[in-house]
Amino acid sequence: MSYAFYVYYYRSQGCSTSWRKINMKKGLTLSAYFSHSGNTREIAHLIHEYVGGDVFEIVSVDPYPSDYDEVVEQARKELKKDYRPGLKTKVENMDSYDVVFVGYPNWWGTIPMPVATFLSEYDFSGKTLVPFCTHEGSALGRSVADIKGLCPQSTILEGLPIRGSDVKNAKNKVSGWLRELGMKKQKSQFIPLGKNQVMKNVA
């Protein structure tokens, strides 16, 4: 049985980077996300509609402020200090996944620090990571290079940037990208998580 795994964090890459088709003969697929504005959530759901899989929410222990300027300033300070915020949710069966879609808003040209925490908490060696992000003009920025630094034993495929204003009309772009990667519609299954973890079957 084959599955797909997406991780997505919301707000506003020795790995190899290339376009290549994904061989998903054994692993499971999951969508993990943290939502602030909701743009990345919408793209992650489009990926799920095409590929299937399960959903996991990345939740920081301390919530981010709702005010845009406050969030921007907090993100700047966290990046400068390389601060890794604690997460309330965890994936207990990460070994089950072969392909991980990593979604996030582009904050200050790279991944938000909760995504850095997520990527640092698990061993992604031998897994395929597929980045996608929402942005307001800086596309993927240096996020792919930073993911590479955090996951040196992973294979990282070419990512997909979606401008925030294009999210509502991104279905064709997302499906075309997934076809380029050789993704096919997969089945979903419920993956039990531990205490205080958020997981749901979204088939």
pLDDT tens for residues 55-83?
Answer: 777 889 999 998 989 999 999 999 999 99
Question: Is the pLDDT higher at 183 or at 192?
Answer: 183
Residues 25-36 as b/e (b if ≥16 CB within 10 A, e otherwise) read eebbbbbbbbbb
Determine how β-strand 6-8 pairs with β-strand 99-105.
parallel
- Mean pLDDT for 158-177 is 94
% of the chain exceeding 90 in pLDDT: 48
User: 1 lies in a domain?
Assistant: no
- Mean pLDDT for 132-153 is 95
- Indicate if the pLDDT at residue 175 is higher than 80: yes
> What's the whole-model pTM score?
0.80
Amino acid at 173: K
The model's confidence at residue 187, banded by pLDDT at 50, 70 and 90, is low
Amino acid at 143: S
- Indicate if the pLDDT at residue 192 is higher than 90: no
User: How far is residue 129's CA from residue 16's CA, in Å, rounded to a whole number?
Assistant: 10
User: 184 lies in a domain?
Assistant: yes
User: How far is residue 52's CA from residue 6's CA, in Å, rounded to a whole number?
Assistant: 9
The model's confidence at residue 16, banded by pLDDT at 50, 70 and 90, is very low
User: How far is residue 55's CA from residue 163's CA, in Å, rounded to a whole number?
Assistant: 23
pLDDT value for 23: 43
Measured N-to-C along each axis, helices 39-51 and 171-180 cross at an angle, to the nearest 10 degrees, of 50
User: How far is residue 78's CA from residue 44's CA, in Å, rounded to a whole number?
Assistant: 25
Question: Is the pLDDT higher at 45 or at 86?
Answer: 86
- Mean pLDDT for 100-106 is 91
% of the chain exceeding 70 in pLDDT: 77
pLDDT value for 177: 92
Q: Which segments of the chain does DSSP mark as H helices, in order?
A: 39-51, 68-81, 113-121, 143-150, 171-180
User: How far is residue 69's CA from residue 24's CA, in Å, rounded to a whole number?
Assistant: 41
Count up the domains in the chain and report the number.
1
User: 176 lies in a domain?
Assistant: yes
Measured N-to-C along each axis, helices 143-150 and 113-121 cross at an angle, to the nearest 10 degrees, of 30
Domain ranges, residue 167: 6-201
In this structure, what CATH number is given to the domain that contains residue 187? 3.40.50.360
Question: Is the pLDDT higher at 144 or at 1?
Answer: 144
The model's confidence at residue 87, banded by pLDDT at 50, 70 and 90, is very high
User: How far is residue 177's CA from residue 101's CA, in Å, rounded to a whole number?
Assistant: 12
How many C-beta neighbours within 10 Å does residue 191 have?
23
